[in-house]
Structure 1
């Protein structure tokens, strides 16, 4: 590289705003790839680095919805070459030797690495990542579209294809936001009767446009779960809202043998009595992201079936404002370089 430094955004001190800075351009070591970042999505997961959680060492460059091109490959890299369009998501590498990895369950690797937490992420012009963390981006997707699919996209896609529902079954998506608007599209394209559940009617039109067959306004009835039950019940509910009381309520809308899949949380216990679980054999489960191959499959499906995140773009220097605006954004914010 001729350029000695690059633009980057860092978490310098726990709880402090993001800081725009200049850093040395990183060099890829053995088995690693340097990516020229074209876009990086803004996600609430950046709070882990921002608040100094999970043992993160500061300063740290956040960002785990990365889309760009391979710029250089370190020794031993056999799959990737300069110019390849690639993404890197939350799951930033596996150890390959723990019990989970040896059974192919790489997401539950005992020593898994998280991009933007265990090593510098995509809020920078360049990022270095292990070669196993890279996912190939289809030509049909722009970098701005691919970025959010590396986290919000893969999580909703993976949760849906592992929820146990079959084409023709009713699947509800609880929450039509950054995660939910993608879940509605994926559910529709997978052939489910798709029910969107959200507060108020302001997102009903867009939810139906994205593929929802039914819409439940959670403010119009004491129990949205009961409303879902009156619609015939759902084989699965994908909960994209961080509200334990709302998640407890929606279980009432599950059909016998139905499954609530939680992919967002407020970190509070779900206040749920056991009767709904015992009678009807209902299940409450969680789902956690996915590895690079899962990301490739999520993006390939999105490209094939026309699933796209709704994004607003901002320059890298606006990272702090973009993060502060997460709750008001509709629906994903992407930093562009």
Structure 2
């Protein structure tokens, strides 16, 4: 089979042939049809989380069950499935024993703990597998298994309720999905981005309001709308996140799903006086992925994608890292 691997830290991808891997007990082999190229794949390339080399990245994997290992009863050959950031857990640590599997102390991530979806076939623990609805294409499903679940799950677990004002900071790879989910969940949606050029798209995706952060004070504009119950921060710019906090209403949340390299200087007075909070949010489990995919299929939420064949993996990765790909790059194997 073909697999695109990084031979060593910070090296270019190599496309090579290896034997199709066999699923061990409790594992599933997936025939990959599509795999999203996520900014977090950088962690694999640089070895930031301690992965070994060579390693194939990829945690936005969509395909079908090709074989199952001993003891697997939930999945059968031909099932349409995906694997996201949640790539398995130990079931024995304290978070797992409390049912918080995404916080597993020894949690696995595809493309880091084992070879991910930059390949024609990959193997994952059975608990990491999520079912893909029949009416959702593999190309559309792939980005929803990371960018989708991250925004969907953070919104549904936030303090916002239908009718509340929810602001989405950023109209990019995560933000364009966050706006859609927020609108479909029944929130009043304000999109925040730099410049006026993103306003038509934000409105098309379902935003009721648009705030140009280069022309207006974001917090003031949110307060004119009554204050945001939740601000979903999808960008990776700490100053842009901090600038929104004054626009939260009482007991509101700034939910952070984008990880900036620099620390965020947080104004504390608005947090104290409004009993507001800054909340980080991990993606979610395989069941959360299924919920995301089903909600997307039912409501018409779709990612904006550009497809590239596996043979052009380096070009796809470089375009994503350069920022030239505004939304989601997807590798295809067919």
TM-score (norm 1): 0.97
Would the aligned equivalents of 2:245 and 2:267 in 1 still touch at CA under 8 Å? no
Partner of 2:156: 161
Cα distance in 1 between the residues matched to 2:263 and 2:270: 16
Listed as ranges, the gaps of 5+ residues in structure 2 are none
Deviation at 1:239, TM superposition (A): 0.2
Alignment of 1:83-102 (within 5 A): 83-102=78-97
Output aligned runs, 1:164-243, within 5 Å: 164-221=159-216, 223-243=217-237
Q: Distance in 2 between matches of 1:315 and 1:245?
A: 37
Deviations 1:231-265 (CA, angstroms, capped at 9, x unpaired): 22100000000011111111011111110000002
Q: 1:163, 1:243 → 2: CA distance?
A: 21
Match of 2:325 among 308, 324, 329: 329
State how far apart, in whole Å, the 2-side matches of 1:274 and 1:200 are. Answer: 28
Moved more, 228-237 or 72-81: 228-237
CA-to-aligned-CA distance 1:167-216 (integer Å, 9 cap, x gap): 00000000000000000000000000000001112221111111000001
Distance of 1:149 and 1:45 partners within structure 2: 14
| 1:288 alignment partner in structure 2 | 282
Unmatched 5+ stretches in structure 1: 1-5
Structure 2 matches for 1:305-316, cutoff 5 A?
305-316=299-310
Q: In 2, Cα distance between the equivalents of 1:293 and 1:265?
A: 24
Report the aligned-residue RMSD. Answer: 0.8
Q: Is the CA contact (8 Å cut-off) linking 1:311 and 1:330 kept in structure 2?
A: no
Matched position secondary structure for 1:44:
coil
Q: What is the TM-score normalised by the length of structure 2? A: 0.98
Residue 330 (structure 1) shift: 3.2
Pick aligned residue for 1:259 from 250, 253, 263 = 253
Contact 1:60-1:116 at 8 Å conserved across structures = yes
Q: 1:144: how far off?
A: 0.2
Give CA-to-partner distance per residue, 1:267-300, whole Å, 9 cap, x none: 3221112111110111111101101000000001
